[in-house]
Amino acid sequence: MARFGPKAAEDEDDQRPIPASGGGGGLTLRAMLPNAITAAALCSGLTGIRFATEGMWAFAIGLVVLAGVLDGFDGRVARLLNAQSRFGAELDSLADSLSFGVAPALIVFMWSLEGWSTFGWLAALAFAICCALRLARFNARIDLDDQPHKSAGFLTGVPAPVGAGLAFTPFYLWNETGIELFRDPVLNTVWLAVIASLMISNLPTLSWGSIRPRRSVRLPLIAFTGLAFAALLLEPWWTLAAISIGYLLLMPYGLVKYGRIRQRRMQDAAAAAPAPGAA
């Protein structure tokens, strides 16, 4: 049976089967809430474009970040309320494509890439297209049982909301330091193209399901999370820059960790296979 969203959080493993439609009694408020959150995320991302046209870069990027926060809730709320639907899944994919593909591409272009208009625009287009392709790939694979990355608790490529956050990393640094190098159109064209390629790559990337801290470090980790939240309130741009850079630095760790899991699976499969010549 098909499994539907809202897809929002791509690292969610629990995609329970639900009916494609909900009968003829109309929608309940419970069923509408996840879709309302998705719509709010879409409005937030698109309003970021409006602020960018007025040169209000911090507001523009802050609204895309807010869209990412809302995107992290809609799927969880849908599962909590048992309000998953095909409509919600389709709405979520459309909202993600606009909020984390189109909006970041246009904002970065207006902020930096206009200085190298032709190649900068091509990079912006590539980013928006790669985001849409990533979402389409995710939706096309959602019913497949053979997903080695997902079954190991990993994602395939960089998720769309994370890609949007990474695309803004030069802005975080420029806004705090004032160093014009971070606004250089050539640098940002290359940066945007790299992030776009990471979104559609086949690299295994860490998800919440792949992070299993030892019991001995759970309390320090909770304390660190609280401090990180406080830092986000006090120094949002430095904190977002640190999160983005930290995510990129953890990607090699994810590759190594998945490689070990894959090797262990291959060894288990070889051990379970019947010996040659066995009846």
Q: Take residue 267 and report the two structure tokens written for it.
A: 């060894």
Q: Is residue 270 assigned to a domain?
A: no
Residues in the chain: 279
Q: Which domain holds residue 172?
A: 29-215+224-264
Residue 17 has pLDDT above 50, yes or no: no
Task: Express each pLDDT in 194-207 by its tens digit.
Answer: 999 999 999 999 88
Number of domains into which the chain is organized: 1
pLDDT the model gives residue 148: 60
Mean pLDDT of 132-141: 89
pLDDT the model gives residue 277: 57
Cα dihedral 8, 217, 248, 229, rounded to 10, equals 60
Q: Is 91 exposed, middle or buried (0-12, 13-18, 19+ CB in 10 A)?
A: buried
Which of 13-22, 112-121, 170-179 shows the lowest mean pLDDT across its residues?
Answer: 13-22
Mean pLDDT of 129-134: 96
Residue 175 has pLDDT above 90, yes or no: yes
pLDDT band at 7 (very low <50, low <70, confident <90, very high): very low
CB within 8 Å of 112: residues ≥ 6 apart: 120, 170, 171, 183, 184, 185, 188
Q: Is residue 235 assigned to a domain?
A: yes
Cα–Cα distance, 96 to 52 (Å, whole number): 19
Q: Is residue 244 assigned to a domain?
A: yes
pLDDT the model gives residue 3: 42
pLDDT the model gives residue 15: 44
Residue 152 has pLDDT above 70, yes or no: no
Please report, rounded to a whole number, the percentage of residues in the chain having pLDDT higher than 70.
Answer: 81
Q: Is residue 19 assigned to a domain?
A: no
Q: Is residue 4 assigned to a domain?
A: no
Q: Is residue 164 assigned to a domain?
A: yes
Residue 4 backbone dihedrals phi, psi, to 5 degrees: -125, 165
Beta carbons within 10 angstroms of residue 172's beta carbon: 22
CATH number at 100 reads 1.20.120.1760
Cα–Cα distance, 80 to 78 (Å, whole number): 5
Residue of higher predicted confidence among 221 and 96 = 96
pLDDT the model gives residue 218: 80
Q: Is residue 1 assigned to a domain?
A: no
Q: String of b and e for 107-145 (b: at least 16 CB within 10 Å)?
A: bbbbbbbeebeeebeebbebbbbbbbbbbeebbeebeee
Q: Is residue 249 assigned to a domain?
A: yes
